[in-house]
Chain A
Amino acid sequence: MAQPETAPPQTAPAPVPAPVTPAPGVRIDGLTVVYKTTAGELPAVRDVSLTLEPGSITGIVGESGSGKSTLALSLLNAVQPPGRIAAGSVEIDGLGDVVGLAGERLRKARGAHIGYVFQAAQNSLNPLKTVGKQLLDLGRSHGVDDLRGLVREAKELLGRMGLDGARVLDSHQHELSGGMRQRVGIMLALVLNAHLVVLDEPTTALDMITQANILKIVREVHAERGLTTLVITHDIGVVAEVADRLAVMYGGRLVEQGPTREVLHAPRHPYTRGLIQAIPRLVGDIDEARALPGRPPTLATVPKQGCVFRERCALRMDICETDDPAALADGPRIVACHAVGVKERA
Chain B
Amino acid sequence: MITATGITRTFRQRGGVLAGREVQALRGVDFSIAKGGAASFIGESGCGKTTLGRIIAGLESYDGGEIAIGGTPMTPLKPKQRQPHFRKIQMIHQDPYSALNPTRTIHQTLQAPLALRARQTGRSKQWMEERAAEVLSLVGLDPGSVLSRYPHQLSGGMRQRVVIARALTVDPEMLVADEAVSMIDVSLRLGILALLKDLRERLGVAVLFITHDVATARYIGDDGELFVIYRGQVVERGPVDTVIADPVHPYTQSLLSAIPVLHGLEEPGEQPVVPLESLDESRADAGCLFARRCPFRSERCESELPLLQVTDGVPQEHACFHPERRSVIARPLSGV
Q: Which A residues lie at the B interface, using CB under 8 A?
A: 6-8, 10-11, 63-64, 162, 164, 178, 207-213, 215, 234-238, 240-241, 260-265, 274-276, 278-284, 286, 289-292, 295-296
Give the 9 A-B CB pairs with smallest separation, nearest first.
Answer: A237-B260, A264-B264, A261-B264, A291-B191, A265-B264, A212-B258, A292-B187, A291-B190, A280-B215
Q: A63-B187, A208-B213 are in contact. List 11 more A-B contacts (CB 8 A).
A: A8-B267, A10-B272, A209-B44, A236-B186, A236-B262, A238-B260, A240-B263, A241-B260, A265-B265, A276-B265, A281-B215
Tell me the nearest residue of chain A to B331, going by C-beta: A283
- The answer to whether B190 and A295 have CB atoms under 8 Å apart is no
CA distance A292 to B265 in the complex (A): 19
CB distance from B186 to the nearest CB of A (A): 6
Complexed CA–CA distance, A63 and B330 (Å)? 24
Q: Which of A211, A275, A283 contacts B258 (CB 8 A)?
A: A211
Other-chain residue from A210, A262, A280, A292 in contact with B193 (beta carbon distance below 8 A): A280
Contacts of A63 in B (CB 8 A): 185-187
Contact of B259 among A7, A237, A284, A291 (CB under 8 A): A237
Which B residue's beta carbon lies closest to that of A162?
Answer: B277
Contact with A along B209-242 (1 / 0, CB 8 A): 0001111101100100000000000000000000
Contact across chains for A207 and B44 when beta carbons are under 8 A apart: yes
User: What residues on A are CB-neighbors of B212 within 8 Å?
Assistant: 207-208
Q: How many angstroms between the C-alpha atoms of A215 and B187 in the bound complex?
A: 23
* Chain B neighbourhood of A262, CB < 8 A: 264
Q: Does B329 have its Cβ within 8 Å of any Cβ on chain A?
A: yes
Nearest-neighbour CB distance to chain A for B335, whole angstroms, equals: 10
Whole-angstrom distance between the alpha carbons of A279 and B266 in the complex?
13
Q: Tell whether A11 pairs with B263 under 8 Å between CB atoms, given A63-B185, A283-B329.
A: yes
Residue from the set A261, A278, A283 with the largest chain B CB neighbour count within 10 Å = A283
24 A/B residue pairs, CB under 8 Å, sorted by A: A8-B267, A11-B268, A164-B279, A208-B213, A209-B275, A211-B260, A212-B258, A213-B277, A237-B260, A237-B261, A238-B260, A264-B264, A265-B333, A265-B336, A278-B186, A279-B215, A279-B262, A280-B193, A283-B330, A286-B222, A290-B190, A291-B188, A291-B194, A292-B187
A-chain residues with CB within 8 Å of residue B331 when the two chains form the complex: 283
B218's contact among A211, A282, A295, by CB below 8 Å, is which? A282
User: Across the interface, which residues of A come within 8 angstroms of B157, CB to CB?
Assistant: 295
B244-262 Cβ-contact flags toward A at 8 Å (1 or 0): 1100000000111111111
**CB of A131, distance to nearest CB on chain B (Å):** 15
In the bound assembly, the distance between CA atoms of A240 and B330 in angstroms comes to: 13
Task: Find the A residue at minimum CB distance from B293.
Answer: A209
CA distance A278 to B192 in the complex (A): 12
Complex CA distance for A246 and B315, rounded to whole angstroms = 41
* B residues near A264, Cβ cutoff 8 Å: 262-265
Interface residues of B (CB under 8 A from A): 44-45, 155-158, 185-191, 193-194, 212-216, 218-219, 222, 244-245, 254-268, 272, 274-275, 277, 279, 329-333, 336
CA A236 – CA B330 in complex, angstroms?
Answer: 15
Residues in A whose Cβ lies below 8 Å from that of B336: 265
Q: Please, which residues of chain B bring their CB within 8 A of the CB of A289?
A: 190, 219
CB distance from B189 to the nearest CB of A (A): 7
Q: Is the CB of A282 within 8 A of B268?
A: no
Q: Give bound CA distance, A240 to B186, whole Å.
A: 15
Cβ-closest chain A residue relative to B329: A282
> B264: which of A207, A234, A263 is its contact (CB, 8 Å)?
A263
Q: What residue of chain A has the Cβ atom nearest to residue B251's Cβ?
A: A209
Residue contact B259 to A282, C-beta cutoff 8 Å: yes
CA distance A295 to B159 in the complex (A): 12
Q: How far is the CB of B206 from chain A (nearest CB, A)?
A: 19
Complex-state Cα separation, A213 to B255, whole angstroms? 12
Write out the residue numbers on chain A whose beta carbons fall within 8 Å of the beta carbon of B156.
64
Report A-chain residues with C-beta under 8 Å of the C-beta of B258: 208-209, 211-212
Q: What distance in Å separates the Cβ of B147 from its nearest Cβ neighbour in chain A? A: 18
In the bound complex, how far is the Cα of B259 from the Cα of A280, in angstroms? 11
Which residue of chain A has its CB nearest to the CB of B257? A212
The residues of A that contact B332 with a CB separation of less than 8 Å are: 283-284
CB-defined contacts of A211 to chain B, threshold 8 Å: 258, 260
Residue in contact with B44 in the complex, picked from A7, A208, A260, A280, CB distance below 8 Å: A208
> Which chain A residues border B329 with CB–CB below 8 Å?
282-283
In this complex, the member of A6, A261, A279 whose beta carbon has the largest number of chain B beta carbons within 10 angstroms is: A279
CB contact under 8 A between A261 and B189, given known A208-B44, A209-B255? no
Distance (whole angstroms) from the CB of A284 to the closest CB of chain B: 6
A280 touching B264, Cβ below 8 Å: no
Set of chain A residues within 8 Å of B45, measured between Cβ atoms: 178, 207
Distance of A302 Cα from B258 Cα, bound (Å): 36
**Are A234 and B260 touching (Cβ within 8 A)?**
no
Across the interface, which residues of B come within 8 angstroms of A237, CB to CB? 259-262
**B149 to chain A: closest CB distance in Å?**
13
Name which residue of chain A comes closest to B157, CB basis: A295
Question: Complex formed: what's the CA distance from A95 to B329 in Å?
Answer: 44
Distance, CA A329 to CA B265, complexed state (A): 23
A280 touches B187 (CB 8 A): no
Most buried by A among B245, B258, B268, B333: B258
Among B190, B245, B261, B275, point to the contact of A240 (Cβ < 8 A).
B261
**Docked-complex contact B189 and A278, CB < 8 angstroms:** yes
Residue of B nearest to A212 (CB): B258
Complex Cα distance, B214 from A208, in Å, reads 9
CA gap between A7 and B218 in the complex, in Å: 28
A286, B263: Cβ atoms under 8 Å? no
Shortest distance between the CB of B209 and any CB in chain A (Å): 12
Q: Are A280 and B185 in contact (CB under 8 A)?
A: no
Q: Verify B263–A280 contact, CB threshold 8 A.
A: no
Chain B's closest residue to A167 (CB) is: B279
Set of chain A residues within 8 Å of B266, measured between Cβ atoms: 283
Contacts of A263 in B (CB 8 A): 264
The minimal Cβ–Cβ distance linking A341 to chain B, given in whole angstroms, is 23
Given the complex, which residues of A lie within 8 Å of B216, measured CB to CB? 280
Q: How far is the CA of A128 from the CA of B194 in the complex (A)?
A: 44
